[in-house]
Structure 1
Amino acid sequence: MSEAVDLLINARWIVPVEPRDAVLADHAVAIRGGRIVDLLGQDEARTRYVADEVVELPRHLLIPGLVNLHTHAAMSLLRGIADDLPLMRWLEEAIWPAESRHVSAAFVRDGTLLAAAEMIRGGITTCSDMYFHPEAAAEAFAAAGMRAVVGAVVLEFPTSYASDPEDYLRKGLAARDRWQGHPRLGFSIAPHAPYTVSDDSFHQVQTLADELGLPIHVHIHETAQEIADSLAVHGCRPLARLARLGVLGSNLIGVHAVHLDEADIELLARHGCSVAHCPTSNMKLASGIAPVPRLLAAGVPVGLGTDGAASNNRLDLLQEMRHAALLAKVGSLDATAVPAHAALRMATLGGARALGMDDRIGSIEKGKCADLCALDLSAPQCRPCFDPVSHLVYVCGRENVSHVWIDGETRVDKGVSLLHINDTELLRLVSMWQTKLGN
């Protein structure tokens, strides 16, 4: 007797990510109650399951939903406001002044809605965010139906959002309390960086993260100047300082991690830390090339992040996969470094593991949430196709994304967004903020 399911997706190729390097031809995914109940051949699926809805993807590649391990979603409203500058000039001369004048709960809510729409259309179903007004960001992610880990940012200096580290933490944790129990939203504690957070504040962050079981999301070793300044002020490199403070652990996500020596990599590996690799942002800000092959060889979990749209300028994880693979090759002078399957793994299960969510997302396995992305490989520029995963990383762009599901709910159908906010409304919001930011 056939078993009832909500949705059956038949695809030309399915790459489940786990087991590693598998490519399944002419398989199907059965979904019920937002969860994956089976992954099997299409002929068997037709006899075993009767579905309320059947989606046929005869020329498509089906992968897990992509996980954006590091972004500043609301900064979509600052896209292109200050380009072609090194990191500290970019921050001090352009970004921080603009933020001090304009960032508010409304700015964050609207900017996050814009970012969520962009990410979902590109197959990103989960992101790890870091910005001010996390309660407004959570509201926007919830409205978009997107899975997100919202960072409670911590800084040493006052902003329009908070007055001091205690105020940042108090407001961030209050937002966490208000959204606790939401099925798609979680929180992290997000100290901005070692050069903007004191030892005392890091102690507070570590204590709270341990007590509440939260990830710590922090920029680390992004530029050579950061290393030099830490040596001058603290007498050690930033990662060594965090190790001394007891902050390093399996819940720490180190963002960028570009300038690492062997001792730094050993610290990350020994403490079980993860790295959010942001290749496009690192290139655009001339920060350098992260030693991803050495990190992976040492057993350090690596996921991919877009960073914010102000420093990328796209929230496009397909682009990040391509850049991660190519930068690893040119940086190591090894053409075998970070092959296509490894890049996809970083963009899915790698990010999920860093967030402590690999039991729910990151691969197409029974029992996991039905967060899925399909790409149409029928266009002439995608043909011939000898290896769909190679095409995914080296050929496809987000324009190839045809379908996106989150918890089995359709968010993109045949390339058309089904979000509650349409393009007309998004453009109205963007136009309003562009006028304000331009004054």
Structure 2
Amino acid sequence: MRGFVCRGFASMGEEYGTPRELIETPEKALGDAREQIRRFNKPGGRVQIGVACNMIWTVDEGGYRQTRKLADEEKVLVTTHIGETTFELETAAAKYGKTDTEVLADIGFLGPDVVAAHCVHCTTDDIRLLLKHDVKVSNNPCSNQYLASGCAPIPEMLKAGLTVGLASDGPASSNNHSMIQAMKFAALQQKGVHQDAEIITAETVLEMATIGGARAVGLEGEIGSIEVGKKADIAVVDYDNAWMTPIHHPVSALVYSALGHEVVTVLIDGNVVMRDGVVKSVDERAVRRSAQLHADALTARAGTDSFKRRPWRSATM
């Protein structure tokens, strides 16, 4: 695999519903993060550790400042939620009289090593601030629609010159990690909200999923496109199937017609990790079984396993 694992934390927010068990001091969380960074981050390593503040209503100014200090000292990626929901903006306005973007700019948190997740409710002034500090944006269209958070102003951000990468957020908030699905949602959401079929192109979405993502984490010189001198991180897609036929344009077909399982071979740094749809590095079936067992145990401990027995719910008019 290749990626960044960011050690996140929440230091407050119980009054807003954050479970007490998930709240920890910045000192504890960042101390653990520093330990993991120094243990695992190696030059050229495919998996790097970063640090993450949750969001403005679960981390105070002190926590953000401490995170900024750690990121500067250890030279690591840092991420946080910005403008994901109207609630985020309301709590920032009530406490600080500003947007969360403005607060983070004022305390010196923003910078070129920051990946801002969501940015759904960023204003034009917020976008200017993000651009001023060279903050990178992570667009999560599946999550934003699934949780009814809204639609990020991606066309405005791209026009302003912001770096935007595409992301899946996670199974807890979008129900899968499919980047193929994320590409289609990214395009359709913008087209539907703006009622403009040409507001975003398939090529733009593919760039967000590839070189845009690489730029967002500072790896555009190594990955994100097939070029001489870059690492061979390559996904091979099989277009020979009924649902993608007929094909008139390969990029459009990938973004709008593919379902995800068309990816047949994957190389990471030139090493084949999946061939003919079979993952070579792990026993995929065993991993899935283990994941289900651990998920069942987790929901039982959390007291949320009743969700599995939820009765049928039809729409009511």
Are 1:153 and 2:8 an aligned pair?
yes
Amino acid at match of 2:193: G
Matched, 1:299 2:161: yes
Q: Please list the CA deviations of residues 227-247 of structure 1 after superposition, one character each: whole Å capped at 9, or x if unmatched.
A: 111111111110000010011
Q: Does the 8 A contact of 2:51 with 2:76 survive in 1?
A: yes
Match of 1:403 among 265, 271, 277: 265
Deviation at 1:336, TM superposition (A): 1.4
SS at match of 1:382: coil
In structure 1, the residue matched to 2:307 is: none
Structure 1 residues 249-268: aligned runs within 5 Å? 249-268=111-130
Q: Match for residue 209 of structure 2?
A: 347
- Aligned residue runs from structure 1 range 239-254, under 5 A: 239-254=101-116
**Amino acid in the other structure paired with 2:8:** V
Return the alpha-carbon distance in structure 2 between the equivalents of residues 424 and 246 of structure 1.
Answer: 46
TM (norm. structure 2) is 0.88
Q: 2:37 maps to which residue?
A: 176
Asked if 1:199 is matched to 2:61, the reply is yes
Q: What do the CA deviations read for 1:204-240 (whole angstroms, capped 9, x no partner)? A: 1112212222222001101112111111111111000
Q: Determine which of 369, 376, 393 is the counterpart of 2:238.
A: 376
Q: Percent identity?
A: 35
Q: Distance in 2 between matches of 1:326 and 1:381?
A: 18
Cα gap change, 1:313/1:230 in structure 2, threshold over 3 Å: closer, same or farther? same
> For residues 53-202 of structure 1, what are the structure 2 equivalents within 5 Å?
146-157=1-12, 163-181=24-42, 183-202=45-64
Deviation string, structure 1 residues 323-369 (Cα, Å, up to 9, x no partner): 10111112222221220110000001111101011111100011111
Any conservation in 2 of the 1:215–1:251 contact (CA below 8 Å)? Answer: yes
| Cα-to-partner distance string for 1:118-142 (whole Å, 9 max, x where unaligned) | xxxxxxxxxxxxxxxxxxxxxxxxx
Query: What count of residue pairs does the alignment treat as equivalent?
Result: 294
| SS, match of residue 196 in structure 1 | coil
Partner of 2:183: helix, strand, or coil? Answer: helix
The amino acid that maps onto 2:219 is M
Query: Structure 1-normalised TM-score?
Result: 0.64
Write the deviation string for residues 161-201 of structure 1: whole angstroms up to 9, x where unpaired: 77411000000110111112162121222011111111111
Q: Verify the 8 A CA contact 1:162 1:168 in the aligned structure 2.
A: no
Change (3 A) 1:188 1:429: closer
In structure 2, relative to structure 1, the CA distance for the partners of 1:326 and 1:205 (3 Å cut) is same
The higher relative CO (CA closer than 8 Å, separation ≥ 6) is in 1
Query: Structure 2: which amino acid aligns with 1:354?
Result: A
**Residue 435 (structure 1) shift:** 4.1
**Could you say which structure has the higher strand fraction?**
1
Q: Report the equivalent of 1:226.
A: 88
SS for the counterpart of 2:219 is coil
User: Unaligned regions of 5+ residues in structure 1, if any?
Assistant: 1-145
Task: Tell whether the 8 Å contact from 1:352 to 1:358 is kept in structure 2 after alignment.
Answer: yes
